[in-house]
Structure 1
Amino acid sequence: MPARVSSEHVDVLVVGAGLSGIAAAYHLQARLPRKSLVVLEGRDRMGGTWDLFRYPGVRSDSDMQTLGYGFRPWRGDKALADGASIAAYIADTARAFGLDRHIRYGHRVTRAAWSSADALWSVEVERGGEALRFTCGFLFMCSGYYDYASGHRPDWPGAEDFAGQVVHPQFWPADLDYAGKRVVVIGSGATAVTLVPAMADAAAHVTMLQRSPTYVVTRPNRDPFAAKVQKRLPPRLADTVLRWKNVLQSIYFYTLARRKPERVAAAIIGFAQKQLGRDYDVARHFTPTYKPWDQRLCLVPDGDLFRAIRSGKASVVTDTIERFTPGGIRLSSGEELAADVVVTATGLNVKLMGGMAVEVDGAAVDFGRCLSYKGMMFSGVPNFALALGYTNASWTLKCELTAAYVCRLLAHMDRRGQAICVPERGVEGGDAGPALDLTSGYVKRAAGLLPKQGAARPWRVHQNYISDMAAMRFGRVDDGVMRFAPRPAAARRAA
């Protein structure tokens, strides 16, 4: 273990400088300007997901009017923006508000320990060969929930025999040349449906090999309504109108899908049939076995996936893998797919808190046994929040609500001379299931790691922006579940 070389104290320590970390820094700086703030980022650049992912066609799977920040609206012309544009937007936002001055790059957080006696978190950080220590009154995690160091890739028989190149989208080689080559993309989620049309023009052919279909929804990449509103209204008013139009539209569609899943499924599948022609086997390749929004829907701008299939440059095969061969992949049906390049768009690995070990008064915290409080804090864990976005809407919507609520909470504590806040689980917080209510593979694989949710507020995780906004902006901070305490006398004397 390297020798510890420095120690630093701040009021609020934010971990992560991606979309949610920059939102957290903005709200803390704007609402609580007297509090000291540091943002720790393990990588060498800000942007998080949008800086890490470099695969062809990488783009948002939420509209940019709601994925963009409420305090600095997205003004680009595309509804679904490419990854590089989103990364640039995040960096420009940080510079515009002076948030970049709070960021420490190359700082990887490894352990955080809470002391009730001191009312402080002690946070251990690695920077190169050095071990650093930060203390803070409040720890705000904005590191997402997946593993940046590894993606999910099943162990297929014969993979070592394959003579071509195998690539995971999370670690896309900058020099990968697939021009004129046969490409097989394994998967059917958002990454796969993005990669297939993006690679189809240069490749000899791209095959999307899926074990089971996903709901694929097309939307215009340039919203004609947005163009009219932006032309006729002042910029700020136009931003507000468009943001709320998209919020309400997504809530309506999600609610309809949950209440009338057969109707929504039929509409989505019917549109795919219309796009691909009546002779295409949509029942096999675009008809999932689950209900809409049991898993996240895949958005394709301007129907680009369907267009690639119609052109003959891409195709979909629904089957399971028996084994890899030197020349490709043998399927359970006996068919063999020839391939020069195989892209394993098979999902991500969940890693809460970036893999950081967390302790409270010497006891390790098992977040899989905690209840989620308002979708942002955890039962029995003091002065600690995690920014997690929506599963059925834009990530940023919930993350900004969370950041603003953390500021409300801290201001409430300051006014009342309190130093400790911890959600306490009572009989009303009975376990009602996982906090992420999806059946996606990455959620199932991490079932034991993810926190649970209760049957009612504030332990219930609501995937509804309007409901959350009412509760988090206007609901009581001192709600009878959150316990507050002053700084212990010993800690006051030490200070």
Structure 2
Amino acid sequence: MTTAEHVDVLIVGAGLSGVGAACRLQERLPGKTYAILEARDTIGGTWDLFRYPGIRSDSDMFTLGYPFRPWKDPKAIADGPSILAYVRETAAAHDIERHIRFGHRVVSASWSSADAVWTVSTAHGVTFTCRFLYLCSGYYSYENGHVVDFPGGDEFAGDIVHPQHWPDELDYDGKQVVVIGSGATAVTLVPAMAPRAARVTMLQRSPSYIVARPGRDALADRIRALLPEKLAHRVVRGKNVVLGTFFFQLLRRLPDRASLALRKRVAAQLPASIPVDPHFVPDYHPWDQRLCLVPDADLFQALRSGKADIVTDRISRFTVSGVLLESGRELPADVIVTATGLRLVAFGGIALTVDGRTIEPGEQRAYKGMMFGGIPNLAWCVGYTNNSWTLRADLTSQYVCRLLQYLDRRGFVSCTPDVASASSAGRPRPIVDLASGYIKRAAPGLPKQGERRPWMMRQNYLLDLADMRLNRLDDGVMRFGRAEERVAAPSQP
């Protein structure tokens, strides 16, 4: 019988978050053993999986990048290949790859309080054990995105493509393309495909708020020219955090004025043939859903060029030659791209048990947005929805390191948020507090947050920074266990 490989910390996922977690673990706890289990055969996660035209970040790289590794590229809003290269260069610089077990998709993990150990199984039947399990695979499915079964799909004579599985051989040169969707993926695809296609039409059921900003940060360029590299990175990162937090709060507190201002900015960049209403007037307030960023106003440039247009209507069915709308209009198409959203899953779809008790993700309460009541020695790394993902991911990784150091100093073997205290944190709310369709669809199966700390997940980096770095670990909610004690695993309320 093969002996399971044992490590102190097991990280799931070798993407942006997993590589960052490994770097922090090596930096703060060099004596700890660890491994990274990666389902795919390469480093990069999201930035290797998604390969559709124009793939890019909608966050600036000074905050999406790691605080310990300055972003050197002049582009503040970077394309996918540049981000992928940055993640892989970081992994190489910190010698992370030798810790990665590629092709190991985790399917289950079980905690034993008697042994204070997680036993983790992969799809190929390989088993690992660890003292602490750190899930860094995000919260959307790598298997497939959200697919809508449009009537007539089997009749359409052209290609139907979902952006999550973009075929390398797809030829759209000189062809009519319809992109279905109004989110970040759609507004990226339209200007990226327009130069080669005959025409690209963005077909949306309802519009989103769209914000244009320069692809380069002129102030950041000046700061980087004046200050040493690491200091400049910290200054620019801090600037962007403060400005991002300020504008988010401003838009949330003055939604009507913010909505009007955003629409006016869009109107100024549209050709006369495309009206703001109905194409750019959402029926919700700014930041009820995530804003769509278009660097260097490339979407509006494509619309002004005549190579792209936008249609707001509902789909009746696909036809042999295109898309028939409820209004009776038919959009001709050779290629249809269904940018209809992601499919979210909790814990990477891993089946969890604690002392034989099955963990249902949708019934869990999140402690500080990263751990869960009644589940020992496990953390889940997720980012912000209103700011760069990595800002929160890195705080979580630093907190995990603090927690592991505390366990070692005090002679503890386990740490478990007290599930009983969650009942006093107010009514349960979705952990991802946005009204987007893909989030609403997934909400029943995702963990919940409360209305008060530490069971509330704040979307505020500055407040979280103080909390994660300065507040006591033994806060009266976190329970610690020694080797001779059995860790309690009470039933979820």
Aligned twin of 1:53: 50
**Structure 1 residues 377, 444: closer, same or farther in 2, change over 3 A?**
same
Residue 64 (structure 2) pairs with residue 67 (structure 1): yes
Q: Is the 8 A contact 2:412 2:483 kept in 1?
A: yes
- Which residue, out of 307, 312, 315, partners 1:313? 307
Aligned twin of 1:157: 151
Aligned twin of 1:201: 195
Q: Is the 8 A contact 1:371 1:431 kept in 2?
A: no
The separation in 2 between residues aligned to 1:122 and 1:245, in whole angstroms, is 43
Helix, strand or coil for the counterpart of 2:126? strand
Aligned twin of 1:368: 362
The separation in 2 between residues aligned to 1:112 and 1:24, in whole angstroms, is 20
- Which residue, out of 23, 36, 44, partners 2:41? 44
Helix, strand or coil for the counterpart of 2:178? strand
Aligned twin of 1:220: 214
Deviation at 1:490, TM superposition (A): 9.1
* Bigger mean CA deviation after superposition, 378-387 or 420-429: 420-429
TM-score (norm. length: structure 1): 0.96
- Aligned ranges for residues 383-462 of structure 1 at < 5 Å? 383-425=377-419, 426=421, 427-462=423-458
Q: Is the 8 A contact 2:106 2:121 kept in 1?
A: yes
Helix, strand or coil for the counterpart of 2:186? helix
TM-score (norm. length: structure 2): 0.97
Identity between Structure 1 and Structure 2 (%): 58
Q: Is the 8 A contact 2:11 2:133 kept in 1?
A: yes
> Would you say how many aligned residue pairs link Structure 1 and Structure 2?
485
Deviation at 1:308, TM superposition (A): 0.3
- Which residue, out of 173, 189, 210, partners 2:183? 189
The separation in 2 between residues aligned to 1:198 and 1:109, in whole angstroms, is 35
User: Could you tell me which amino acid in structure 2 is paired with residue 163 of structure 1?
Assistant: A
Aligned twin of 1:486: 482
Q: Is the 8 A contact 1:258 1:293 kept in 2?
A: yes
Residue 354 (structure 2) pairs with residue 357 (structure 1): no
Aligned twin of 1:108: 105
- Which residue, out of 281, 285, 293, partners 1:287? 281
The separation in 2 between residues aligned to 1:383 and 1:77, in whole angstroms, is 40
Residue 87 (structure 2) pairs with residue 86 (structure 1): no
Deviation at 1:5, TM superposition (A): 4.3
User: Could you tell me which amino acid in structure 2 is paired with residue 117 of structure 1?
Assistant: A
User: Could you tell me which amino acid in structure 1 is paired with residue 251 of structure 2?
Assistant: A
- Which residue, out of 24, 33, 43, partners 1:27? 24
User: Could you tell me which amino acid in structure 2 is paired with residue 439 of structure 1?
Assistant: A
User: Could you tell me which amino acid in structure 2 is paired with residue 460 of structure 1?
Assistant: M
Deviation at 1:489, TM superposition (A): 6.3
**Structure 1 residues 283, 367: closer, same or farther in 2, change over 3 A?**
same
Deviation at 1:480, TM superposition (A): 0.3
Aligned twin of 2:241: 247
Deviation at 1:435, TM superposition (A): 1.0
Aligned twin of 1:274: 268
Aligned twin of 1:136: 130
The separation in 2 between residues aligned to 1:450 and 1:467, in whole angstroms, is 24
Deviation at 1:64, TM superposition (A): 0.5
Which structure 1 residue ranges, 4+ long, deviate > 4 Å from structure 2? none
The separation in 2 between residues aligned to 1:8 and 1:489, in whole angstroms, is 25
Deviation at 1:430, TM superposition (A): 2.9
**Cα deviations by residue, 1:155-213 (Å, 9 ceiling, x for unpaired):** 11111100000000000000111000000000000000000000000000000000000
The separation in 1 between residues aligned to 2:206 and 2:44, in whole angstroms, is 32
**Structure 1 residues 489, 394: closer, same or farther in 2, change over 3 A?**
closer
Deviation at 1:226, TM superposition (A): 1.2
> Which structure 1 segments of 5+ residues have no match?
none
The separation in 2 between residues aligned to 1:270 and 1:278, in whole angstroms, is 14
Aligned twin of 2:491: none
The separation in 1 between residues aligned to 2:70 and 2:348, in whole angstroms, is 28
Deviation at 1:431, TM superposition (A): 2.8
The separation in 2 between residues aligned to 1:404 and 1:18, in whole angstroms, is 17
Helix, strand or coil for the counterpart of 1:446? helix
Helix, strand or coil for the counterpart of 1:147? coil
Residue 465 (structure 2) pairs with residue 465 (structure 1): no
Helix, strand or coil for the counterpart of 2:375? coil
Deviation at 1:100, TM superposition (A): 1.5
Deviation at 1:488, TM superposition (A): 2.9
Q: Is the 8 A contact 2:271 2:303 kept in 1?
A: no
Deviation at 1:278, TM superposition (A): 5.5
The separation in 2 between residues aligned to 1:373 and 1:178, in whole angstroms, is 47
The separation in 2 between residues aligned to 1:53 and 1:162, in whole angstroms, is 25
Helix, strand or coil for the counterpart of 2:128? strand
Deviation at 1:6, TM superposition (A): 4.4
The separation in 2 between residues aligned to 1:320 and 1:482, in whole angstroms, is 50
**Structure 1 residues 490, 464: closer, same or farther in 2, change over 3 A?**
closer
The separation in 1 between residues aligned to 2:2 and 2:327, in whole angstroms, is 60
Higher strand fraction: Structure 1 or Structure 2? 1
Helix, strand or coil for the counterpart of 1:209? strand
Q: Is the 8 A contact 2:70 2:229 kept in 1?
A: no
Deviation at 1:316, TM superposition (A): 0.4
Residue 173 (structure 2) pairs with residue 179 (structure 1): yes
Residue 111 (structure 2) pairs with residue 146 (structure 1): no
Deviation at 1:370, TM superposition (A): 1.0
User: Could you tell me which amino acid in structure 1 is paired with residue 347 of structure 2?
Assistant: M
Deviation at 1:450, TM superposition (A): 1.0
User: Could you tell me which amino acid in structure 2 is paired with residue 87 of structure 1?
Assistant: L
Deviation at 1:393, TM superposition (A): 0.3
**Cα deviations by residue, 1:18-62 (Å, 9 ceiling, x for unpaired):** 000011101111101111100110000010000000000000010
Alignment root-mean-square deviation, CA: 1.2
The separation in 2 between residues aligned to 1:279 and 1:17, in whole angstroms, is 46
The separation in 2 between residues aligned to 1:313 and 1:6, in whole angstroms, is 61
Deviation at 1:72, TM superposition (A): 0.4
The separation in 2 between residues aligned to 1:402 and 1:8, in whole angstroms, is 25
User: Could you tell me which amino acid in structure 2 is paired with residue 167 of structure 1?
Assistant: V
